[in-house]
Amino acid sequence: MRAAVLFLVSCLALASAQAKDFNPQLIKEFGRAYGFLTGQNLSLDKIEREFPTFKSNVIVARLNFSSKYGDIRSKLEDILRSSLKDKFPEFQRNLHEQLKVVTEASLTQADVSRFLQVVQARADGEISDEMLKPMLIAKYEDRPTAEFLDGWRQTYTTDGSGKALGVKLQVQVPRSFGSKESPRPHIVRNWTSENDRGTTTIALQVRDLGAVVTQRDLDAEYGPEFFDGWAGENGKLVDFGKFKHETFPAVWAHTIQEEERATMKFKISSIMYMVIARDKAVALQCMDLIAGEVPSDPKQIFQKTQPLCVQMLNTLVIQSAYSR
């Protein structure tokens, strides 16, 4: 069994390794979201001025939206000012020129009623991912666990086909993470922070163990040597343990891995939760790029991703746990 599990771990790799600063494409997405919110504010201002009977409705719409997203427009503006620097005033001028159509448009009471309904729907979370994801990235930045706990989630489900190897499962991931297929044979799905441009990657894997593995089987092989090779050739095993997931035996490990891409070398913190679901190993791995030197207490580097990984693990439902 250990040989099969070792291959499961060693075939993982971080999907992307971006610098901490937001990349140019994401800055463009922040700009679009900022324009979207600015247009909404201008529309509400116009309604408040020209349709005083709707003033209380506008106040309620603003409060509901703010309650859901906070002062997200100001947050986006701060990011854009910092990123665009002396180009930000020009960006603002161009934006307000484009939004003249909003301030100069004539409105009817029916238009106002419909728009207020749209704003309420947005306050209920009905916003396209094109606008929502950059808003969430700006709001939560390096706090993906807070995003997850606030209910901003996407649900991934397998029907057992393809790389899932017959395993039907469901797991939830932060809404702002980008999702894509992996070219690697046993990775069912990859998710990466900042809509596929960040430094945190989640990998879901399924591996055929060749035979049913019980708790007794796992206990017989369990120990430090069980995790030999989990950190790669130049990596380090930091901590490990056993646990139960639903009815299945499971193990976890914290490792620091060393990777090399072309001429770039970097370190990755990795948290692996592996559930032995009869004759399959289902693994959820959370990886993050280590910025700078590894701290004297290496466990500190897992403080960012471990809470998120645990929350995701709590949403992992393997259907065979409920069937005989």
Domains of the chain, by residue range, sit at 2-17+144-322, 24-140
> Average pLDDT in the 274-282 region?
96
Q: How many residues are there in the chain?
A: 324
8 Å CB contact between 58 and 40: no
Measured on CA atoms in the order 216, 221, 223, 224, is the torsion positive or negative?
negative
Assign domain 2-17+144-322 to its CATH architecture: 3-Layer(aba) Sandwich (3.40)
Rounded CA gap, 253 and 40, in Å? 47
Which 3 state secondary structure label does DSSP give 167? coil
More confident residue, 302 or 190: 190
Name beta bridge partners: 208: 280
Output the pTM of the full model.
0.87
More confident residue, 25 or 10: 25
For 54-107, how does the pLDDT look when each residue is reduced to its tens digit (9 = 90+)? 999 999 999 999 999 999 999 999 999 999 999 999 999 999 999 998 888 899
Rounded CA gap, 252 and 305, in Å? 14
Which one, of 256, 283, 258, 271, lies nearest residue 186 by Cα?
A: 283
3-state percent helix, strand, coil for the chain, nearest multiple of 5:
50, 25, 25
* Cα-based distances in Å from 116 to 32, 58, 92: 21, 7, 25
Name beta bridge partners: 6: none
Q: Token pair 């950059």 is at which residue? A: 134
pLDDT-based confidence at residue 324 (cuts at 50, 70, 90): low
For 89-98, how does the pLDDT look when each residue is reduced to its tens digit (9 = 90+)? 999 999 999 9
Which 3 state secondary structure label does DSSP give 253? strand
pLDDT-based confidence at residue 19 (cuts at 50, 70, 90): very low
Indicate if the pLDDT at residue 5 is higher than 70: no
Measured on CA atoms in the order 306, 311, 315, 321, is the torsion positive or negative?
positive
pLDDT-based confidence at residue 195 (cuts at 50, 70, 90): very high
Helix axes 55-69, 24-50, angle to 10 degrees: 160
8 Å CB contact between 14 and 287: yes
Sheet strands (E) in 142-182: 153-157, 169-174, 178-180
Instruction: Please tell me the least confidently modeled range out of 79-93, 142-156, 218-232.
Output: 218-232
8 Å CB contact between 164 and 182: no
Rounded CA gap, 154 and 148, in Å? 9
DSSP letters spanning 181-221: --SSTTEEEEEEHHHHTSSEEEEEEEEE-SS---HHHHHHH
Q: Determine how many CB atoms are found less than 10 A away from the CB of residue 114.
A: 11
Contacts of 294 by beta carbon, 8 Å cutoff, 6+ apart: 256, 267, 301
8 Å CB contact between 224 and 237: yes
